[in-house]
Amino acid sequence: MVLIKFPGHGEKHDKRIEAYHGLLRSQAGAVSIATVRTCVSVTVVNKRGLRQKVPRIRWFTIVDADEVLIERAKQFARKLEGIEGCKASLFMGRGV
């Protein structure tokens, strides 16, 4: 199963992802959890009519993935890192 999350503002992402993984373990019985964190800069027009870059952050969480799927997630993150204006990393969390 893959879940897509649009994280809000607040605590640092590492802490929020760790809490999210803990919730999935305790309430959904998930064993293996991996989250690909992405940030893509998009250009928008602000209220003053000026163009500015804005980050768009997404988390793609894979629940109970095997090692093959986790490796594919790592490759996906590396490919995104090669695109201008994109950042990506894989977060496995503790206990995985």
pLDDT digits (tens, 9 = 90+) for 14-72: 888 999 999 999 999 998 899 999 999 999 999 999 999 999 999 999 999 889 999 99
- Answer yes or no: is pLDDT of 93 > 70: no
Query: With bands split at pLDDT 50, 70 and 90, how would you rate the model's confidence at 94?
Result: low
Task: With H, G, I as helix, E, B as strand and everything else as coil, classify residue 38.
Answer: strand
- Answer yes or no: is pLDDT of 10 > 80: no
Residue closest to 19 by CA, chosen among 35, 4, 38:
35
Query: With bands split at pLDDT 50, 70 and 90, how would you rate the model's confidence at 2?
Result: confident
The H-assigned helical ranges of 1-96 are: 13-28, 67-81
Distance CA 34, CA 73 (A): 8
Instruction: Give the residues across from 43 on adjacent strands.
Output: 53
Residue 50's pLDDT is 94
- Answer yes or no: is pLDDT of 96 > 70: no
Return contacts of 49-57, CB within 8 angstroms, 24+ apart.
53/85, 57/6, 57/7, 57/13
